[in-house]
Chain A
């Protein structure tokens, strides 16, 4: 974005609101993920272009979520930009808490945003948060171990194949575990993974009347399959492993396969951190032939809370951070493999980026996830690995804790599902369904 267009955007907003000093200081709440830390390091570029100063509040994911949710629901006004996800955006937008991003200038090229991301970050067709990076999930596997097991990974594997390969690759004496999956309780941890998996098994959270479905056969199949697989071929302590723990296991060469966020691909192929950087292959998330794959869809996005004093400057920042130019800036400094992925179509059309080994599979995974039709049977909700209602984070975390306890062997899958059903029923009742 040029200075001139920044000026234009700023003046346009200044005309309709009362505009104070031109150079503002904006406060941004964000999560402590690698891409955001990088953005923080590049703030000077933004300040040089627009004159606005930026104050960062960087917090770990759970603290961030509790912090921004409290602030926005009480109109606290502590932040000018909040980093939120695909789950929060439609809920907050429906409450009128976010500033619409419909008036971004033509140079921003809003149509370049991947349709799946744009859809997930909109409410009633209006964009309320701009994707900083987007992800789906896919299979990351060790090509050397796969070969040693005498198997070949298809581009679109079935769960049956994954289970077979995982068991074949496992060599517990040498600390090689066929498969690493999320087991740590939390709606964004194991509940996300198991929900996406359940979609491919034909299960769903609710039927069209918002009745929880944990008492159905597809859920029993899903959970038993997941527990059996991790017990046979998973690492020790799987029930406390989240994204971070699995990432580090994979980087240390202890996992044969890992099904998780597509953004992890750039970490496991980075030779600085990963001991197996040159031995990683990628495949689509598995299915069972029912027409849905077990991959999710997520975006970390930047949104402006309604009522902020610095709306104009905040918009300028969002334009800068989610622009094509920002991607080029990161590519120039850190290489193409480290640019924020999954947000823009043009990135995947860029020949430089097409050379990145995981680019194609990431795009295919994102494109195969449909938040509007996430399940085999129809559902009343939006969201692949979540249900976009305010109560979901709460009860899904509790359900995740039951699943986690089942994985740790403290209860059976059936007991966990019965409790999940009760928890969800109770929460929905409390919410007035």
Chain B
């Protein structure tokens, strides 16, 4: 009896959850579907859902027009580089905040977050001038640094919350055994925090991948990532929904795939210290 109730309930849960899930996913699905239509089918009235002549023509056109691999590679380098650099700088900072807290620790954390509040467009000219000065325009390293700085507060905060959950006694035990600070961080703390670090890397990779102001305004050719790729397909002369969809699909596919493979990590790890 009780068993049948739960399974009926489970069926209901499944139905509701799948409906909502598909509804939320629908815009992405629709974009992907549209990318395989011809331009005429893309705006046909009534809209066609699945029964159309699937074509790869849009992808061919986009591929011919732009060097997709270069944009993709730049995105990988910039998002990956900024995340790794950020992690390297943030681990010691988060360690000291978590294990040697002072009265000012919380203030420093909040202050770090507040640096994200300066509207980017307001400082475009100053930053642009600085980039020219240091020859960093259209340079991947320059963007790695900028995106690292933008995301550093989030990285520090996330790591801080993970580190805080690690009981201090373990560290003290390690210290008793004569571990140096470096060894303590490398061999005791980091392994324990690996799941947290992985979530942090993921989230910040996504944020850096999707950053569209600096990556667009500080690049031209050599460092232009996928955000610039998209800017060459949005609002062209005429409405090209199908080609726009193909370009959009190409721009989001890599990160979407990465996200899907790592969803378990994200579901478990994205706590921001919200769970005690």
Query: Do A and B come into direct contact in the complex, CB within 8 Å?
Result: yes
CB–CB B128/A76 < 8 A: yes
- A195 shortest CB reach to chain B, Å: 21
Whether, in the assembled complex, B252 has its beta carbon less than 8 Å from a beta carbon of chain A, the answer is: no
**Interchain CA distance A67-B220 in the complex, whole Å:** 9
**Interchain CA distance A70-B214 in the complex, whole Å:** 13
Whether, in the assembled complex, B12 has its beta carbon less than 8 Å from a beta carbon of chain A, the answer is: no
CB–CB B236/A34 < 8 A: yes
CB–CB A59/B228 < 8 A: yes
Interface positions of A from 33 to 72, Cβ below 8 Å from B: 33-34, 37, 40-41, 55, 57-63, 66-67, 70-71
Interface positions of B from 120 to 168, Cβ below 8 Å from A: 124-125, 128-129, 132, 137-138
- B123 shortest CB reach to chain A, Å: 12
List the A residue with the shortest CB-CB distance to B129: A74
- A83 shortest CB reach to chain B, Å: 13
Whether, in the assembled complex, A414 has its beta carbon less than 8 Å from a beta carbon of chain B, the answer is: no
Say yes or no: A70-B216 contact (C-beta < 8 A), given A34-B238, A59-B232, A252-B43: no
Instruction: List A contacts of B64 (CB < 8 A).
Output: 41
CB–CB B236/A244 < 8 A: yes
Say yes or no: A59-B231 contact (C-beta < 8 A), given A27-B221, A79-B220: yes
- A79 shortest CB reach to chain B, Å: 6
Say yes or no: A58-B232 contact (C-beta < 8 A), given A29-B220, A248-B43: yes
Whether, in the assembled complex, A144 has its beta carbon less than 8 Å from a beta carbon of chain B, the answer is: no
Whether, in the assembled complex, A308 has its beta carbon less than 8 Å from a beta carbon of chain B, the answer is: no
CB–CB B137/A78 < 8 A: yes
CB–CB B137/A76 < 8 A: yes
Whether, in the assembled complex, B234 has its beta carbon less than 8 Å from a beta carbon of chain A, the answer is: yes
List the B residue with the shortest CB-CB distance to A66: B217
**Interchain CA distance A263-B217 in the complex, whole Å:** 29
**Interchain CA distance A34-B132 in the complex, whole Å:** 32
Query: Considering only CB atoms and an 8 Å cut-off, how many residues of chain B contact the other chain?
Result: 27
Whether, in the assembled complex, A273 has its beta carbon less than 8 Å from a beta carbon of chain B, the answer is: yes
CB–CB B235/A244 < 8 A: yes
- A31 shortest CB reach to chain B, Å: 9
Contact of B216 among A29, A63, A247, A263 (CB under 8 A): A63
List the B residue with the shortest CB-CB distance to A29: B220
A-B contact count (CB 8 A): 83
Contact of B239 among A57, A71, A75, A244 (CB under 8 A): A244
CB–CB B237/A244 < 8 A: yes
Instruction: List B contacts of A252 (CB < 8 A).
Output: 43
Say yes or no: A32-B232 contact (C-beta < 8 A), given A63-B216, A74-B132, A248-B43: yes
**Interchain CA distance A81-B81 in the complex, whole Å:** 31
Whether, in the assembled complex, B224 has its beta carbon less than 8 Å from a beta carbon of chain A, the answer is: yes
Whether, in the assembled complex, A232 has its beta carbon less than 8 Å from a beta carbon of chain B, the answer is: no
Whether, in the assembled complex, B55 has its beta carbon less than 8 Å from a beta carbon of chain A, the answer is: no
CB–CB A61/B238 < 8 A: no
Whether, in the assembled complex, B66 has its beta carbon less than 8 Å from a beta carbon of chain A, the answer is: yes
CB–CB A32/B233 < 8 A: yes
**Interchain CA distance A252-B65 in the complex, whole Å:** 26
Contact of A27 among B132, B220, B235 (CB under 8 A): B220
CB–CB B235/A60 < 8 A: yes
Whether, in the assembled complex, B39 has its beta carbon less than 8 Å from a beta carbon of chain A, the answer is: yes
CB–CB A70/B220 < 8 A: no
CB–CB B237/A70 < 8 A: no
Interface positions of B from 22 to 52, Cβ below 8 Å from A: 39, 43
- A19 shortest CB reach to chain B, Å: 22
Whether, in the assembled complex, A88 has its beta carbon less than 8 Å from a beta carbon of chain B, the answer is: no
- B220 shortest CB reach to chain A, Å: 4
- A66 shortest CB reach to chain B, Å: 7
Instruction: List A contacts of B216 (CB < 8 A).
Output: 63, 67
Instruction: List B contacts of A245 (CB < 8 A).
Output: 239
Instruction: List B contacts of A55 (CB < 8 A).
Output: 220-221
- B240 shortest CB reach to chain A, Å: 9
Whether, in the assembled complex, A243 has its beta carbon less than 8 Å from a beta carbon of chain B, the answer is: yes
Whether, in the assembled complex, A77 has its beta carbon less than 8 Å from a beta carbon of chain B, the answer is: yes
Instruction: List A contacts of B129 (CB < 8 A).
Output: 74
CB–CB B238/A247 < 8 A: yes
Instruction: List A contacts of B221 (CB < 8 A).
Output: 27, 55, 57
**Interchain CA distance A340-B232 in the complex, whole Å:** 20
Whether, in the assembled complex, A267 has its beta carbon less than 8 Å from a beta carbon of chain B, the answer is: yes
CB–CB B238/A244 < 8 A: yes
Mark each residue of chain B from 220 to 231: 1 if its CB lies under 8 Å from any CB of chain A, else 0: 110010001001
**Interchain CA distance A79-B235 in the complex, whole Å:** 22
- A99 shortest CB reach to chain B, Å: 19
List the B residue with the shortest CB-CB distance to A75: B132
Mark each residue of chain A from 230 to 266: 1 if its CB lies under 8 Å from any CB of chain B, else 0: 0000000000000111011001100000000001000
Starting from the known contacts A37-B65, A79-B220, 14 additional A-B residue pairs (CB-CB under 8 Å) come to: A29-B220, A32-B235, A58-B65, A58-B232, A60-B231, A62-B235, A67-B217, A70-B124, A76-B132, A244-B237, A245-B239, A247-B237, A248-B239, A273-B238
Instruction: Show 21 A/B contacts (Cβ-Cβ < 8 Å), sorted by A.
Output: A29-B220, A32-B235, A34-B238, A37-B65, A40-B65, A55-B220, A55-B221, A59-B228, A59-B231, A60-B231, A60-B235, A67-B217, A76-B137, A78-B138, A244-B238, A244-B239, A245-B239, A248-B43, A267-B237, A273-B39, A273-B238
Q: Which residues of A contact B (CB under 8 A)?
A: 27, 29, 32-34, 37, 40-41, 55, 57-63, 66-67, 70-71, 74-79, 243-245, 247-248, 251-252, 263, 267, 273
Q: Which residues of B contact A (CB under 8 A)?
A: 39, 43, 64-66, 124-125, 128-129, 132, 137-138, 216-217, 220-221, 224, 228, 231-239
- Top 3 A-B pairs, shortest CB-CB distance: A58-B232, A248-B239, A78-B220
